[in-house]
Amino acid sequence: MKKLLVSDYDQTFYINDEDIEKNKIAVNEFRKKENIFVIATGRSYADFMKKKNQYNIEYDYLIINHGATILDKKENIIFNEKIPNEILDSLKFDLHIENSERNFCCSILESRVDFEYKNLTKIHVKYNDLEYSNKILKKLEEKYNSFLNSYLVSGNSIEIISKNANKSKAIKLLSKEIEIVQEEIYTIGDSYSDFEMVKDYNGYAMKESVDGLKNVALEEIDSVSDLIRKIEG
């Protein structure tokens, strides 16, 4: 029976140049057996395409923006979930953009648009101070919990997507598309945005994962290539 493997990108599929080559070889063999491989990343389309082209990464489907957007290997859009337009003005005010070190928004395939663009898929805001970032994150969770998922990423940065999207929900949509049973779905990641997909499926956490992820994973593992060897017996 075919299997579906979904891997986070940063610090999972890619840790260093040597590690990614081992993972690519393992994935290529995995796919030759008619199994399906998916990259699931918080990166935007343009940001990930740079990595795809740099390392010649092959996959069957691509989940970007923490699960808000799904593409097939020909880059056709299968799914995209937008942040509700009606909260954008209020959200911009509460993010205190004037205090940020860097901020940008993403539409479906565009990685640098502003708030006025509307129809946004992801918002990224970086602050100078981790304590301040956590303060903003707490406010977002209290005020916008019904509308948004917010993640602390890369130190002091916050990334925001629709509440109706995460990596696990994207996998559920894909599993219906390709007609694969939940028991044959495997996931691996290292960060908070991987939490749902690791918890909801046969999930594994990288050894250097955040503690919360390790708590819901079946097991800690060293690499994607090690996981492929494990699930193939």
pLDDT tens string 183-223: 999 999 999 999 999 999 999 999 999 989 999 999 999 99
**pTM for the whole structure:** 0.95
61 and 90 in a common domain: no
**In the predicted structure, residue 233 carries a pLDDT above the cut 90:** no
Cα dihedral sign for 146, 38, 189, 33? positive
Query: What is the tens place of the pLDDT at every residue in 127-167?
Result: 999 999 999 999 999 999 999 999 998 779 999 999 999 99
Q: Which domain holds residue 124?
A: 85-162
Query: What is the CB neighbour count within 10 angstroms for residue 231?
Result: 15
Predicted pLDDT of residue 171: 98
Structurally, the chain folds into a number of domains equal to 2
94 and 204 in a common domain: no
CATH number at 137 reads: 3.30.1240.10
26 and 120 in a common domain: no
